[in-house]
Amino acid sequence: MWLPLRLTLLFLFLLLSPRALLRSGSAAVVSGEEEEFHEELLLKPLPDRKVLAHFHFHSIAPPSKSNGRHHHLFPKAISQLVQKFRVKEMELSFTQGRWNYERWGGFDPISSNNAKPPGVELWAVFDVPEDQVDAYWKNLTNSLSGLFCASINFLESSTMYSAPKWSFRITPGSLRYGTLPREAVCTENLTPWLKLLPCRDKAGLAALLDRPSIYKGFYHSQRLYLTSNASVPAETVSGISLEQTLTVVLQPNSPSSSSIHSGESNFQPSWSLSSIFGRKISGKCVIAQSSIVYLQLEKSIFSEQKDNMDNGPNSLASEGFAGGSGFEMSLDPDIVIEEENQSQHKGSSVLYGFWVEKYNESQPLDLGLKWKYPVFWSSQQAPLHASRFLMGSGNERGAIAILFKSTNSADSSSGSRHVSDGCELQVDVFQVVPWYIKVYYHSLQIFVDDEAKPIGDFVHKIQVSPSKDKTSPGMMEMLLKLPCDVRSAALTLEFDKGFLHIDEYPPDANQGYDIPSAVISFPRFHSVMHLLSNDSIRKSPLLSRFQEKNRVQSYTEVLLVPLTTPDFSMPYNVITITCTVFALFFGSLLNVLRRRVGEEERYLKAGKKKGWLRVLLSRLLAKFRGKPMEEPDQPSSESAPLIGKKLVLKVILVAVLAVAWQFYST
Ligand SMILES: *[C@@H]1O[C@H](CO)[C@@H](O)[C@H](O)[C@H]1NC(C)=O
Ligand SMILES: *[C@@H]1O[C@H](CO)[C@@H](O)[C@H](O)[C@H]1NC(C)=O
Ligand SMILES: *[C@@H]1O[C@H](CO)[C@@H](O)[C@H](O)[C@H]1NC(C)=O
Ligand SMILES: *[C@@H]1O[C@H](CO)[C@@H](O)[C@H](O)[C@H]1NC(C)=O
Ligand SMILES: *[C@@H]1O[C@H](CO)[C@@H](O)[C@H](O)[C@H]1NC(C)=O
């Protein structure tokens, strides 16, 4: 009676338990949302006949309970990194080339978020007590170095990173910031970055990434930005959002026939995806929740066209712009999104969206843009254009100058909004200087509109941490308040060039030393797109990113400072001279020794044989040479070792001298 009951119970238990387990497992995933992956591509013609392609991949792992260490889509390497080093926020970028703020824009979300300084830039915020942050930073740089095949581990040294307080990001916290301006960026960095995508570069939008066409471009920046909910209870795994972007500026090679045909060079080049990348999109990455290609055009193009054409109907308002006048798209857009014009704001734009899921292998997506008329427009500029240069000459002193030039956009609508607060233009300057450039911060001078002005009038807030030799770099954070109608402003700082120890010189020291880019941001200006709201927009991570309020930010040039370098050829010269001396002495010594031995042997042989012909011959030879024939029993051999000993002594003396010279000279 009991046995069958027990058996059935057991049976039932066995039958149900895996399901129960499964359900509890899936409940954890379902309770949060599912993991998500979105892929988007934004294409934008630039005023200087180039094309911007901005790939945006977004992976989200929701916070999950206990055994949520396994991910379906989210890259495990990143989630482990976040868990292990308690990273709250991190951004890593690899960039080659310099973003041209004047031509490609300095106010839009892409230039503020995705224009990065050359080389590697890394910053991270940790969720650990302040005294442990440095240890976590060091371990993080080493892990990232391995993950991305780059020399990020050089940022481990305390001379290479700094802790900005308020000028770099508003969010306070345990932030560390470091850059490697001279890092060469290549495919070996791109491949690990692509590996983090669920479809790699095998399907979806990433399949467009043809290496030669990307690296041929004028600018490319690959970026990884992650945020996590690190402050979650211990047993749960924090939610992570990973944003991977690749921004490239490419020159479409315009078909030569059209330029000959039109006879004009001011035509924007017509292009298509296949002409830029050499590939087409043959469908989306199957796992992706959304896969969209956007084409962004500035509205000023349309107004330009209207002026050019002046044919009555407003092409902007009429059905779709696809059939519009000045240009032609090869495909009809699936969605048209307009940016709200903020009181006749110049830079508002229109986005055309194309769903990638509608296309497949046999009918690939090959978006093309063809211009019918020459169109001119200019990108929106940040209120001030910043550039940085070196002054002075020689190997001892110099000065760094940061020059701001008004772009006249401050008096347009976006600036006028801030007229109410006394019309001040706030500028944050964040500058890190390596320790061997000893900056004298008291020598700060300000020139506004070419006139030297007292510092107190314009510098609202300044925080300086001077460099310590071989320990930490110098850091300057400054908040400037300039009048709105300023035309130009310049800051200068004097410095002394330091000396390095012989071990600290990098290879090719004569090239010079890089001072990392300064970060210039405008806290009162936000690069934000107000898109006319639509549910499909809200789901797109790229567009929601565009709609976030971000400070307008730009980077200055990297400076190259020549430092005094020792003459690295001198040890080489010493070695060469020593070797020459050695070679001369040993050569002649061996020569002397060998010749005597040979002569003696010959003589001995000649003496033993006593063949009269040979003796005669040798005597004759000796006569010809003008030497008296030596007798065999003459003790001439005694002098040979004597000469040898003298020679050896001399050689040793010279060697000792050479070694001593080399030792004391270096
Ligand atoms: C960093 O790595 C070292 C060596 O692996 C280890 O001993 C140390 O505990 C790590 N520190 C942190 C904060 O993870
Ligand atoms: C972090 O938590 C907040 C609130 O709990 C949530 O809104 C946000 O989406 C979370 N972030 C991530 C990356 O999961
Ligand atoms: C949002 O976009 C979809 C797709 O184009 C369109 O059908 C819908 O009418 C739009 N909704 C609003 C509120 O504009
Ligand atoms: C955009 O600008 C036009 C012309 O200045 C104006 O008529 C229209 O109302 C503006 N639209 C919005 C949403 O502000
Ligand atoms: C590709 O899509 C077109 C229409 O969009 C459809 O007619 C065709 O059958 C599809 N081909 C394949 C192989 O799925």
Average pLDDT (562-574) is 87
Range in 31-35, 230-234, 460-464, 648-652 the model is least confident about: 230-234
Measure the CA–CA gap between 36 and 303, rounded to whole angstroms: 39
Name the pLDDT band for 437 (thresholds 50, 70, 90).
very high
Measure the CA–CA gap between 485 and 410, rounded to whole angstroms: 8
Q: Are residues 553 and 580 in the same domain?
A: no
Radius of gyration of the chain (CA): 37
> Of 371, 402, 429, at which residue does a domain stop?
371
Q: Are residues 347 and 308 in the same domain?
A: yes
Residues with Cβ within 8 Å of 663's Cβ and at least 6 positions away in sequence, in order, are: none
**How far, in Å, is the centroid of ligand 5 from the Cα of 358?**
8
Name the pLDDT band for 418 (thresholds 50, 70, 90).
very low
Decide: 142 in ligand 1 pocket, CB within 6 A. Answer: no
Q: Return the ligand number nearest the Cα of 59.
A: 2
**How far, in Å, is the centroid of ligand 5 from the Cα of 361?**
8
Question: Which amino acid residue places its CA nearest to atom 5 of ligand 1?
Answer: 139
What pLDDT does 207 receive? 93
Residue 359 lies in a domain: yes
Token pair, residue 112, equals 């503020």
Residue with tokens 């009676």: 1
Q: Is the pLDDT of residue 641 over 60?
A: no
Q: Are residues 194 and 65 in the same domain?
A: yes
Q: Are residues 310 and 451 in the same domain?
A: no
Average pLDDT (556-563) is 92
Measure the CA–CA gap between 330 and 348, rounded to whole angstroms: 23
pTM for the full predicted model: 0.79
Q: Which atom of ligand 5 is nearest to the CA of 358?
A: 5
Question: Which amino acid residue places its CA nearest to atom 3 of ligand 5?
Answer: 363
> Of 321, 338, 371, at which residue does a domain stop?
371
Q: Are residues 471 and 490 in the same domain?
A: yes
Decide: 536 in ligand 3 pocket, CB within 6 A. Answer: yes
Name the pLDDT band for 264 (thresholds 50, 70, 90).
low
Decide: 360 in ligand 5 pocket, CB within 6 A. Answer: yes
Q: Is the pLDDT of residue 622 over 80?
A: no
Residue with tokens 């964040």: 430
What pLDDT does 319 receive? 36
Calculate what percentage of the chain has a pLDDT beyond 70.
79
* 599 C-beta neighbours (distance < 10 Å), count: 13
Q: Is the pLDDT of residue 448 over 90?
A: yes
What pLDDT does 661 receive? 86
Q: Determine the residue of 34, 125, 229, 238 to mutate for testing ligand 2's pocket, defined as the one with the most ligand atoms within 8 A of the Cβ atom.
A: 229
Q: Are residues 299 and 438 in the same domain?
A: no
What pLDDT does 602 receive? 79
Q: Are residues 361 and 412 in the same domain?
A: no
Q: Determine the residue of 340, 341, 344, 529 to mutate for testing ligand 4's pocket, defined as the one with the most ligand atoms within 8 A of the Cβ atom.
A: 341
Residue of 177, 174, 167 lying closest to 477 (CA atoms): 167
**How far, in Å, is the centroid of ligand 4 from the Cα of 343?**
7
Question: Which tens digits make up the pLDDT trace of 236-248?
Answer: 677 899 999 999 9
Residue of 33, 117, 127, 27 lying closest to 74 (CA atoms): 33
Measure the CA–CA gap between 377 and 393, rounded to whole angstroms: 40
Measure the CA–CA gap between 455 and 462, rounded to whole angstroms: 11
Residue 160 lies in a domain: no
Q: Is the pLDDT of residue 22 over 80?
A: no
Average pLDDT (470-477) is 94
Angle between helix axes 133-148 and 76-85 (nearest 10 degrees) is 160
Q: Which atom of ligand 5 is nearest to the CA of 360?
A: 1
Q: Is the pLDDT of residue 421 over 80?
A: no
Answer yes or no: are the C-beta atoms of 321 and 336 closer than 8 Å.
yes
**How far, in Å, is the centroid of ligand 4 from the Cα of 260?**
40
Higher-confidence residue: 416 or 400? Answer: 400
Residue 634 lies in a domain: no
Question: Which amino acid residue places its CA nearest to atom 13 of ligand 4?
Answer: 340
Decide: 239 in ligand 2 pocket, CB within 6 A. Answer: yes
Measure the CA–CA gap between 61 and 64, rounded to whole angstroms: 8
Q: Are residues 514 and 418 in the same domain?
A: yes
Token pair, residue 429, equals 């300057």
E-assigned strand segments in 528-655: 550-555, 559-561
What pLDDT does 304 receive? 56
Measure the CA–CA gap between 57 and 392, rounded to whole angstroms: 46
Question: Which tens digits make up the pLDDT trace of 121-166?
Answer: 999 999 889 899 999 999 999 999 999 999 999 999 999 999 998 8
Name the pLDDT band for 37 (thresholds 50, 70, 90).
very high
**How far, in Å, is the centroid of ligand 5 from the Cα of 364?**
10
DSSP 280-314: -B-S--TT-SEEEEEEEEEHHHHHHHHHHH--SS-
Domain count, the chain: 3
Provide the residue range defining the domain that includes 50: 36-118+181-371
What pLDDT does 547 receive? 86
Residue 378 lies in a domain: no
What pLDDT does 420 receive? 45
Q: What CATH number has the domain bearing residue 444?
A: 2.60.40.1170
Q: Looking at residue 421, what DSSP letter applies?
A: G
Q: Are residues 659 and 515 in the same domain?
A: no
Q: Determine the residue of 331, 361, 362 to mutate for testing ligand 5's pocket, defined as the one with the most ligand atoms within 8 A of the Cβ atom.
A: 362
Higher-confidence residue: 72 or 202? Answer: 202
Residue 3 lies in a domain: no
Range in 24-33, 205-214, 408-417 the model is least confident about: 24-33
Q: Return the ligand number nearest the Cα of 225.
A: 2
Q: Is the pLDDT of residue 15 over 50?
A: no
- The rounded Cα 644 to chain-centroid distance in angstroms is 65
* 330 C-beta neighbours (distance < 10 Å), count: 14
Q: Is the pLDDT of residue 577 over 50?
A: yes
Mean pLDDT score across all residues of the chain: 82
Range in 14-18, 64-68, 79-83, 215-219 the model is least confident about: 14-18
Question: Which amino acid residue places its CA nearest to atom 3 of ligand 1?
Answer: 139
What pLDDT does 221 receive? 96
Q: Are residues 573 and 521 in the same domain?
A: no
Residue 631 lies in a domain: no
Residues in the chain: 666
What pLDDT does 458 receive? 92
Q: Is the pLDDT of residue 412 over 60?
A: no
Q: Are residues 411 and 360 in the same domain?
A: no
Residue 125 lies in a domain: no
Decide: 455 in ligand 3 pocket, CB within 6 A. Answer: no
Answer yes or no: are the C-beta atoms of 477 and 164 closer than 8 Å.
yes
Calculate what percentage of the chain has a pLDDT beyond 90.
47
Q: Are residues 359 and 500 in the same domain?
A: no
Question: Which amino acid residue places its CA nearest to atom 9 of ligand 4?
Answer: 341
Q: Return the ligand number nearest the Cα of 283.
A: 5
The beta-carbon contacts of 149-153 under 8 Å, at least 24 apart in sequence, are: 149/188, 149/189, 149/191, 149/192, 150/94, 150/120, 150/183, 150/185, 150/189, 151/120, 151/180, 151/183, 152/92, 152/120, 152/122, 152/180
> Of 324, 341, 371, at which residue does a domain stop?
371
**How far, in Å, is the centroid of ligand 4 from the Cα of 341?**
6
Residue of 423, 254, 160 lying closest to 151 (CA atoms): 160
Name the pLDDT band for 417 (thresholds 50, 70, 90).
very low
Name the pLDDT band for 10 (thresholds 50, 70, 90).
very low
Residue 138 lies in a domain: no
Sign of CA dihedral 502, 504, 509, 515: negative
Half-sphere exposure of residue 595: CA atoms within 13 angstroms, side-chain side? 7
Question: Which amino acid residue places its CA nearest to atom 6 of ligand 1?
Answer: 139
Higher-confidence residue: 54 or 394? Answer: 54
